[in-house]
Chains A and B, each alone.
Chain A
């Protein structure tokens, strides 16, 4: 998949949009100023925890402001993938209310999924996922709409939609 990605977007290496993840545990902090993900330690403030449970390669694409560039911000932050699984990730750690954050995140994820699928990337992957991460992860009462959106993503794109801050590659 990395080769296909480089054929379509040769500039991503030069621009530093593609990184390889080798650690078992990685912690990513979404820097609001640079709009880029920064790899930090478990002791720092982080938004996303990625666990790699295999020896194969795992890649991190800085999608927002790197691969996909638009002024209206309608793309998600990162795309993480190995040979079998891809995860589109959007961090929403703003102070806006949760409903609006979720609404924006869904739009950004959907746009990104469409973009990559139209370029024939990740479309045929076995495990396709999308993750919305809010700043504080806590218990929220069950919501009817969540399952509606989950179904919509599954039916339209065969993508599993989740909310949380942890991604496991095994």
Chain B
């Protein structure tokens, strides 16, 4: 169940944190409790480019998210991405003001230095298999490109392609040793190295995208859209992650011309006309998005960014981070938005990280978790209440409450639900206050 582990000590508001990262993670906590800081750190570590590219430094990434000043002498951060119980396919440690990234390139170097170390070679084989599986899940063109490196005969090429197609069809795992057999190559370290180097050559294209951070300031994205380059060139003091989101948003408004806004109201539509975005309340009545309701201004950027990410599909590996999805939304719309996000942001190799203060968001998540659970025995009946595409598998979900610099898990894995938490207690305190007033 445990996919990755993040440990953070003495970093800004985070004093002593140890969390498990699943496909979907939700953080709750008071303001300044460190929800966004954790979400931003995950955004950095869940980014394949950062993991693989030695030239992208940790400090640069922290600056991008405006959290560089949190870094202190006593800061300790570690991140381990586990594919299986024993193998960490990507790890990161920051200690004593230095950091070490361990990923594919380091692994290659280690094996090159120590060709007789079978443990390291096994480790390299795991990397190769992991990356091959990753590619297989994407486009067959990548496999063809990989195969072209070997200058094989047509027959051999077909055997090779069939091998990958079968893996994709049967959802089984790649095995580099079987591949070497097909290629009639000896199973020796030099061959593993050369194959992995070939593979890495095509990987930048495969791991083409990083995390998609949707900040609380998302209504601001529309104001800077089409001007982000100017703002960057003129060195205007706007946090870099906002400008980055702004650039993604620019691409989104250019590619998504029309979008139904069923989350708010079935009759409402978003439409891009020329350089202006409009909200259509019916066939003819339209309002400039900038003059529309605040709920629309905050929800449209989420939908546009997610729809844009969906349109890119296969080649991209997305990690969606949505800060406070509830902003400016009526409770029913909050529930609809959560259903939409679970449906669209949790597909294969896509993660979803949320921060929230809303009891409605937590109640909504609990319903989706229960829907999955009940759906196993009564799929048709459950589907009538909550569509299957929005069911949330409890195994893929985890929630934490942040308090005094620490993180407390608030999901009950046995029941597959969010347990009692600080937001519940606040609701109770409201009721207590009400009782006291009433009894005066």
Contact = CB atoms under 8 A, between A and B. Distances in A.
Mostly helix, strand, loop or mixed at chain A's interface?
helix
Interface in B225-270: none
A145 B419 contact: yes
Give the interface centre of A102, A147, A148 by most chain B CB atoms within 10 Å.
A148
A98 B431 CA distance: 7
A148 B423 contact: no
A102 B420 CA distance: 11
Interface in A12-44: none
A151 interface: yes
Contacts of A142: 359-360, 363
Interface in B344-361: 359-360
B435 A147 contact: no
Interface in B16-61: none
A74 to B, nearest CB: 19
A8 to B, nearest CB: 32
Mostly helix, strand, loop or mixed at chain B's interface?
helix
Nearest to A149: B420
A140 interface: yes
B162 interface: no
Given A141-B359, A145-B421, A148-B417, A102 B412 contact: no
B434 A147 contact: no
Interface residues of A, number: 21
Contacts of A136: 431, 434-435, 438
B420 A145 contact: yes
Given A97-B432, A102-B428, A138-B431, A144 B438 contact: no
Interface in B183-203: none
A144 B431 contact: no
Interface stretch (B85-93, B321-329, B364-372): B364-372
Given A97-B432, A136-B434, A141-B430, A151 B424 contact: no
Interface string A106-122: 00000000000000000
30 contacts: A97-B429, A98-B429, A98-B432, A99-B428, A99-B429, A102-B428, A134-B431, A136-B434, A138-B431, A140-B430, A141-B360, A141-B430, A142-B359, A143-B359, A143-B423, A144-B362, A144-B363, A144-B365, A144-B419, A144-B423, A144-B424, A145-B418, A145-B420, A145-B421, A145-B424, A147-B367, A147-B417, A148-B417, A151-B370, A152-B415
Closest 9 CB pairs of A and B: A145-B420, A98-B428, A144-B362, A148-B417, A142-B363, A144-B418, A141-B427, A143-B424, A99-B428
